[in-house]
Chains A and B, each alone.
Chain A
């Protein structure tokens, strides 16, 4: 039933998202264009080419990308929170954000100019940067005698700080291109195109489904790694697989949208408030919830005059975050 509500919210977001923009387009025309292009309906063309381009080539990929990224962040956030057993974890906690940002910054400042399969240099570098960062964090966290979770978190923080320093350096030498790096950091869907959406869709969808199939492992981890092992979970293997999948999803998301915060942190918590902590429910509902939330955030961002969507998610998310902190009071007692 909740899924139904979520899907309905998504459909509304889609229609609204495509209908809203700086150019006023008759809502009827919007629907007719969608019907004509995607449902194959035989509708006499009462709109201009420009209008159709705006709806189909500019707005539609944008809305769909927002949903895709929101879905990815929701799933990744829920997964990291469960894996790391930390309610304050978000998809970026293990260095993916800094890695992606540094990758994007490097792409902006190097004097090379080419497009990888229409994907874009910034996007490709950001993707690689994110994955490289988390791989480094994972490998480095194996050294030392700390418990795996603590080690991961601390290494993630250390590597993230290092990469952030690299990013600061890159921004310093970037000169005129600083604005581009900044745009990436704030996160936006201005660069959403059909090829990027279609390239990222399978990665995020398949990886998310694979995570959802492993909901049992995430549930087992609720009481800790030892308890999970005693309940039959191969903790080491599951941790590795879930970490890899969640990182992949996050890397793909930040590659096409930049760093959009709070979705991965807040959506899983809101979902848990409604349905409890079982990953079987939290994962799919976080996917839908994240998609809807980000789609609406983007609509708001556009209505507010084109402010970066990361600002909107921060405004919505920060109060929620404080609320979560207040509720998390008994999380760490023995």
Chain B
């Protein structure tokens, strides 16, 4: 039995005297595809920050592939876990391939920069994500959907076992949302990349992710397949909204 690639044990995170996560226990195995859902303020982003070692918990343990995250230096974490940046706020004109190249930062030679292996990884990531036709363009001029894909390519170039995304579909139109989701499924099923995504869109989460972790007020309210997690009662409790779960035929589009 391989140990989980990401493991949280009774993790409590407080931020300026306010407890944001309490006693969160979560175990994600390599190759899984997990969506973190919950209302605003539930602590989803905090959970991600804790996972990547950016936030230190006041109690509990966080391990990446068995190693406590606080014992890893930032570069180690970056080599194991790639976080797709949320919104790209570029101060200077930057071409798409230069953005993707940033993903090699944890691997490249600190002084000399990208080596041939790095360049190959960059090219492969661009190809894999399918943004080849955007090469040469200023990333600031892309549409939001295109930009999101470029950022995913950046994370792919990082060659990490785990891909973490924080609300990747927030500003995307329907077509790009679906496209991004399908890409994640592809990366997960074909390359074996573990995908952990914070999503606000329950339908997307339910449709594309076999496992949902529902956070409510800093605690794990439910953890499992969509039909178990997204019961009308629970949705009413957590989200305060009446809903009904409609199962679509497996072959239907969203």
Which residues of chain A have a CB within 8 Å of any CB of chain B?
Answer: 81, 85-87, 213, 215-216, 219-220, 222-224, 226-227, 229-234, 269, 272-273, 276-278, 280, 327, 330-334
A196 to B171, CA, bound (A): 56
Residues of B within 8 A of A277 (CB): 92-94, 98
A11 → B minimal CB distance (Å): 27
B72 → A minimal CB distance (Å): 10
A302 to B87, CA, bound (A): 49
Which residues of chain B have a CB within 8 Å of any CB of chain A?
Answer: 52, 54, 73-79, 81-83, 85-95, 98-99, 101-103, 105-106, 108, 110-113, 138, 140-141, 144, 158, 171
- Judging by beta carbons under 8 Å apart, are B140 and A85 in contact? no
- Judging by beta carbons under 8 Å apart, are A220 and B105 in contact? yes
Residues of A within 8 A of B89 (CB): 85, 223-224, 332, 334
A139 to B106, CA, bound (A): 31
If A232-B76, A272-B93, A330-B140 are given as contacts, then 18 extra A-B residue pairs at C-beta distance below 8 Å, sorted by A number, are: A85-B91, A87-B91, A87-B92, A213-B110, A213-B111, A227-B102, A230-B52, A230-B54, A230-B82, A231-B102, A231-B158, A232-B73, A232-B74, A232-B75, A269-B92, A277-B98, A331-B91, A334-B89
Q: Which residue of A lies closest to B112 (CB)?
A: A280
**Interchain residue pairs A-B with the least CB separation, the first 8:** A232-B78, A232-B75, A230-B83, A227-B85, A330-B140, A232-B106, A231-B105, A277-B92
- Judging by beta carbons under 8 Å apart, are A280 and B82 in contact? no
Say which residue of B90, B102, B113 sits within 8 Å of A331 (CB atoms): B90
CB-CB under 8 A for A224 and B85, given A229-B74, A233-B105, A277-B98: yes
- Judging by beta carbons under 8 Å apart, are B78 and A222 in contact? no
Residues of B within 8 A of A332 (CB): 89
B149 → A minimal CB distance (Å): 15
- Judging by beta carbons under 8 Å apart, are A219 and B140 in contact? no
Residues of B within 8 A of A330 (CB): 138, 140-141
Q: Which residue of A lies closest to B53 (CB)?
A: A229
A232 to B101, CA, bound (A): 14
B28 → A minimal CB distance (Å): 18
Residues of B within 8 A of A229 (CB): 52, 54, 74
A280 to B112, CA, bound (A): 8
Q: Which residue of A lies closest to B91 (CB)?
A: A85
Residues of A within 8 A of B111 (CB): 213
Residues of A within 8 A of B105 (CB): 216, 219-220, 231-233
Residues of A within 8 A of B78 (CB): 230-232
A192 → B minimal CB distance (Å): 33
A273 to B75, CA, bound (A): 30
- Judging by beta carbons under 8 Å apart, are B98 and A234 in contact? no
A217 to B62, CA, bound (A): 26
A85 to B92, CA, bound (A): 8
A226 to B141, CA, bound (A): 22
Say which residue of B82, B90, B113, B141 sits within 8 Å of A223 (CB atoms): B90
- Judging by beta carbons under 8 Å apart, are A276 and B74 in contact? no
Say which residue of B94, B110, B171 sits within 8 Å of A222 (CB atoms): B94
- Offer 8 A-B interface pairs, CB within 8 angstroms, sorted by A: A215-B113, A223-B99, A230-B83, A232-B75, A278-B101, A278-B113, A331-B91, A331-B92
Q: Which residue of B lies closest to A145 (CB)?
A: B16
CB-CB under 8 A for A223 and B92, given A231-B103, A233-B74, A333-B140: no
Q: Which residue of B lies closest to A229 (CB)?
A: B54
User: Counting chain B CB atoms within 10 Å of each CB, which of A215, A232, A233, A333 scores highest?
Assistant: A232
- Judging by beta carbons under 8 Å apart, are A222 and B90 in contact? yes
CB-CB under 8 A for A331 and B140, given A222-B102, A223-B102, A232-B78: yes
- Judging by beta carbons under 8 Å apart, are B91 and A222 in contact? yes
Say which residue of B79, B141, B144 sits within 8 Å of A232 (CB atoms): B79
B76 → A minimal CB distance (Å): 8
A86 to B102, CA, bound (A): 19
- Judging by beta carbons under 8 Å apart, are B85 and A223 in contact? yes
Residues of B within 8 A of A232 (CB): 73-79, 105-106
A215 → B minimal CB distance (Å): 8
B56 → A minimal CB distance (Å): 13
A317 → B minimal CB distance (Å): 18
Residues of A within 8 A of B102 (CB): 219-220, 222-223, 227, 231
